[in-house]
Amino acid sequence: MGEAKRRKTLGLPPKKNNTKTKFDDSPRLFEWLPFTINQRDNLIKLSIKASWFGIGGLVILWIVVRFIGPAAGWWTLADSL
């Protein structure tokens, strides 16, 4: 007895197809371009997240250069002679 027939006789729902690769069936941006609408949206989300990490890194770098470095004696600022 096969798995499908056994599940049917027990009254169980059919087994879901657990494929490892998911096929993106959203429409393409252009017919000649192999990128889909979902891939475009994911790229936009990724770039927004990356830009926020960049902004945070820039703020941390500015705090280190402006306040922590001179306070620790690593260097002196040019405007505080």
pLDDT on residue 79? 74
Residue 26 inside a domain? The answer is no
- One-letter amino acid for residue 14 of the chain: P
Q: Which residues pair with 36 in a beta bridge?
A: 28
Question: Phi and psi at residue 16, in whole multiples of 5°?
Answer: -75, 145
Residue 58 inside a domain? The answer is yes
Q: What is the reported pTM?
A: 0.60
Residue 24 inside a domain? The answer is no
Query: Domain total for the chain?
Result: 1
Residue 14 inside a domain? The answer is no
Query: Which structural domain range is residue 51 located in?
Result: 38-75
pLDDT tens-digit profile of 2-36?
A: 888 888 888 888 887 766 667 778 888 888 888 88
How many beta carbons lie within 10 A of that of residue 70, not counting itself? 13
Residue 30 inside a domain? The answer is no
Supply angle C-alpha 35, 47, 36, rounded to 5: 15
pLDDT tens-digit profile of 47-72?
A: 999 999 999 999 999 999 999 999 99
Residue 4 inside a domain? The answer is no
